[in-house]
Each structure stands twice: as structure tokens, then as C-alpha cells.
């Protein structure tokens, strides 16, 4: 029977200490993968599978990739879930806040793919998933930096899919809508209610909903799926 088993797969997840990232780490692990989480929120030397890393620092990120390959002998899947916001309208958005969001959300994805590409190309089931947002497709008031970074992930993924596909490695995007995480729950109540009203299903998603999409895209169930954007938004963008 075909199922989303990841037995023997070695996976690296950035932002694994966040709400969505934690769910991704747990779900991939539950289905058989050996998962390494890289996050600024992890303590130095916490464990072999929880690595302290500022993903906005290319040297640190490349070192984590090298460490995973050295420790486990392979790297079959990478998931870029790390992301930050620094919201402001354009005329109030500082250069520092623009750069910080781009560095973590988009630049780190490029560095992750660049460092892991040789290993994904060698793997018989190489897969990469970038966590974008529906706001990367539609834009969002006060989120020029965030929306631009998330839109950039889509172009990056599709280009990488064309380049890595020749070796059988796949690259896809998951674009969540409103997901119940500490970051979104800190939004003003009226903003949350407006986002829920936009959905067809009438409710926010959960981190596990996003993790399930990542599981699918990393598994053999998606072995002929690449360069795609899978929305996990309850029909929010459709509406």
C-alpha cells in the first residue's frame, strides 16, 4: 500500500522551534525521517537533532548542512520554515527591517538550497520545500517586505526545480493562509476575524495542517510533483 513513509530519510528543517516548524519536525519524524531542526531558539549543544543556528548567517547555515551530512551520511530533504515579520507601510519601513526580513525569509532559503543541492542531487528521493504565504501571491497592506520575500520564494523554488529536476530532486512551495500560531494570535482580534471571514472553511488552519502538506511533498506520494505551490489556506485566497 502506498503511504507517506519517510523511513531512512534525513531531513533538515530551518525554523524548527517555531509553531509551524515544530509541527513539521514532529510530523516528519513520526513518519520515519531522521530530522534535524536548525533554529536561533535552540540552545548551543542542546542535542544532535536541535542545532542553534542563525539562518540569516550564510556561514552558520552552511555549517549546519555540512554537520548533518557528516553526522548522518546523507541529506535527503530540506524544509525552509524560518521566517520573521517587521511590518510597516512602505514610507515607514526602514532599510534595516526590509533587510532583516529578506535575510531570514528569502536569502536563507537560497543559501539552504545552494548548500544542500549537491546532496539532494545525489539522493534517490531528494526534496526541498519552502514555506511561503498566500501574501506572497496577493500582497498585504503593511507587509511589503514580508510579501516580497514570500513571493521571492516561489520564483526561487521554480527555478531550483528546473535545475535540480534533471537529477530527480524536487522543489515545491507550501503557501499557508491564516494559521493559528503565537505570531498570528498576537494580531489584533479584528484582523484575525477578517482573515477567517475570507476563508471558505470558516476557520484558521493549524500548524499540523501545514506539516501534513510538507509531509506529502517530501514523500514518494509526490514523486511526480515539482515546481508547485500548494496552498494551505482553507480557501482564503480563492475567496
Residue 14 near residue 5, CB atoms below 8 Å = no
Residue 218 near residue 27, CB atoms below 8 Å = no
Residue 10 near residue 33, CB atoms below 8 Å = yes
d(CA 173, CA 155): 10
User: Catalytic pick from 56, 101, 136, 146?
Assistant: 146
d(CA 148, CA 29): 31
CA atoms within 13 A on the CB side of 162: 5
**Known catalytic residue: 146?**
yes
Residue 233 near residue 134, CB atoms below 8 Å = yes
Place of cell 525569509: 105
Report phi then psi at 74, rounded to 5. Answer: -165, 165
Place of cell 516528519: 28
Cβ atoms within 10 A of the Cβ of 111, count? 22
Which residues are designated catalytic? 146
Amino acid at each position: 500500500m502506498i503511504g507517506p513513509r519517510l523511513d531512512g530519510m534525513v531531513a533538515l528543517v530551518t525554523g524548527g522551534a517555531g509553531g509551524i516548524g515544530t509541527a513539521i519536525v514532529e510530523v516528519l519524524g513520526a513518519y520515519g525521517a531522521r530530522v534535524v531542526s536548525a533554529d536561533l531558539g535552540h540552545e548551543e549543544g542542546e542535542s544532535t537533532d536541535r542545532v542553534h543556528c542563525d539562518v540569516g548567517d550564510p556561514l552558520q547555515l552552511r555549517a549546519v548542512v555540512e554537520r548533518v551530512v557528516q553526522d548522518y551520511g546523507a541529506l535527503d530533504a530540506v524544509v525552509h520554515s524560518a521566517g520573521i515579520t517587521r511590518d510597516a507601510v512602505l514610507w515607514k519601513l526602514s532599510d534595516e527591517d526590509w533587510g532583516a526580513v529578506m535575510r531570514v525569509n528569502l536569502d536563507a532559503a537560497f543559501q539552504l538550497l545552494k548548500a544542500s543541492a549537491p546532496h539532494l542531487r545525489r539522493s534517490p528521493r531528494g526534496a526541498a520545500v519552502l514555506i511561503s504565504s498566500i501574501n506572497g501571491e496577493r500582497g498585504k497592506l503593511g507587509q511589503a517586505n514580508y510579501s516580497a520575500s514570500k513571493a521571492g520564494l516561489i520564483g526561487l523554488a521554480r527555478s531550483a526545480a528546473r535545475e535540480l529536476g534533471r537529477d530527480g530532486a524536487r522543489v515545491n512551495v507550501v503557501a499557508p493562509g491564516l494559521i493559528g500560531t503565537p505570531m498570528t494570535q498576537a494580531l489584533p482580534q479584528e484582523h484575525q476575524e477578517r482573515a477567517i471571514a475570507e476563508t471558505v472553511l470558516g476557520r484558521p488552519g493549524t500548524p499540523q495542517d501545514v506539516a501534513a502538506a510538507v509531509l506529502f511533498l517530501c514523500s514518494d506520494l509526490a514523486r511526480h510533483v515539482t515546481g508547485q505551490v500548494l496552498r494551505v489556506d482553507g480557501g482564503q485566497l480563492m475567496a
